[in-house]
Amino acid sequence: MFEYRIYKEVYDEMTSGRKNIEIRLLTDKSEKIQVGDKLTFKVIDDDLFLTTKVTDKYIFNNIDELWANEDVRRRSSIRDTKEDFLKLLYEIFGEDKVKSSKLVGIEFQIVKDE
């Protein structure tokens, strides 16, 4: 099982059903994730968490490829402009990492803990 940390606002988007794709940088960790794997999303500085099952995975070479996929953007709950979204990625991951990394969209469904 893989674990990611998220903000409370992201948790709320996920539990409401407005968000079912999480966007991350493609790293060794996210590259290993396969359809059917379980992910846990834990809220930063809180005890809240979600257990999910990966239903699909999308790899984007850069922000332009991601931005061209309106369905992934919509289901990722991205409401910013491309420039604002890129700025947010820079704040979270660092500009150098974002510029030198591919992006991954991890599609999921929330599951009950087993």
pLDDT for position 19: 96
pLDDT in tens, 73-93: 999 988 889 999 999 999 999
Buried/exposed code over 52-80 (b: 16+ C-beta within 10 A; e: otherwise)? bebeebbebeebeebbeeeebbeebbbee
pLDDT in tens, 35-73: 999 999 999 999 999 999 999 999 999 999 999 999 999
**The CATH number of domain 2-111, selected from 3.30.420.10, 2.30.130.30, 3.40.980.20, 3.60.20.40:** 2.30.130.30
Per domain, the residue ranges of the chain are 2-111
Both structure tokens of 25:
């940088």
Confidence class of residue 1 from pLDDT cuts 50, 70 and 90? confident
Both structure tokens of 58:
């999308």
- Report the C-alpha gap between 1 and 4 in whole angstroms: 10
> H-type helices in 1-114, by residue range?
8-16, 28-32, 63-68, 70-75, 82-93, 95-100
Query: Is the CB of residue 78 less than 8 Å from the CB of residue 67?
Result: no
